[in-house]
Structure 1
Amino acid sequence: MTPGLEKLDHLEETIAYKFRDHDLLAQAMTHRSWAHEQVSPYSQRDARELHNEALEFLGDSILGLVVADYLFKAYPGASEGELSRMKHRLVSAPTLAKASTELGLGDYLRFGRGEEKSGGRRKRALLADVFEAVTGAIFLDGGLSAATEFVERALGQELRAANPVSAAAADPKTM
Structure 2
Amino acid sequence: MKLAAELQAFSARLGHQFAHPEYLQRALTHGSIATTTRPDNQRLEFLGDRVLGLTIAEALFSADREASEGQLAPRFNSLVRGEACAEIARQIGLGDVLKLGRSEMMSGGRRKEALLADAMEAVIAAIYLDAGFDTARKVIRTLWAQKLATVDADARDAKTALQEWAQAKGMQPPRYVQTARSGPDHAPEFEITVQLDDGRSAVAQGKGTKRSIEQAAAAAMLDQIEGTE
TM-score (norm 1): 0.86
Higher strand share: 2
Residue 77 of structure 1 deviates from its aligned partner by: 0.8
1:129 counterpart residue number: 118
5+ residue gaps, structure 2, are 164-214, 217-229
5+ residue gaps, structure 1, are 40-45
Tell me which structure has the larger Cα radius of gyration.
Answer: 2
Per-residue CA deviations over 1:43-71 (Å, capped at 9, x if unaligned) read xxx36x52111110000000000000000
Per-residue CA deviations over 1:63-104 (Å, capped at 9, x if unaligned) read 000000000000111110111110101001111111100000
2:40 counterpart residue number: 51
The one-letter amino acid of 1:12's match is S
Residue 167 of structure 1 deviates from its aligned partner by: 2.2
Cα-Cα RMSD: 2.0
Runs of 4+ in 1 over 2 A off after TM superposition: 166-175
1:29 counterpart residue number: 28
Q: Give the % identical residues.
A: 39
The one-letter amino acid of 1:29's match is L
2:130 counterpart residue number: 141
Higher helix share: 1
Alpha-carbon distance in 2 for matches of 1:151, 1:133? 13
Give the length in aligned residue pairs. 163
1:78 to 67, 80, 90: 67
The one-letter amino acid of 1:24's match is Y
Alpha-carbon distance in 2 for matches of 1:26, 1:158? 27
TM-score (norm 2): 0.67
2:201 counterpart residue number: none
- Identify the structure with bigger relative contact order (alpha carbons < 8 Å, sequence gap 6+): 1
1:19 counterpart residue number: 18
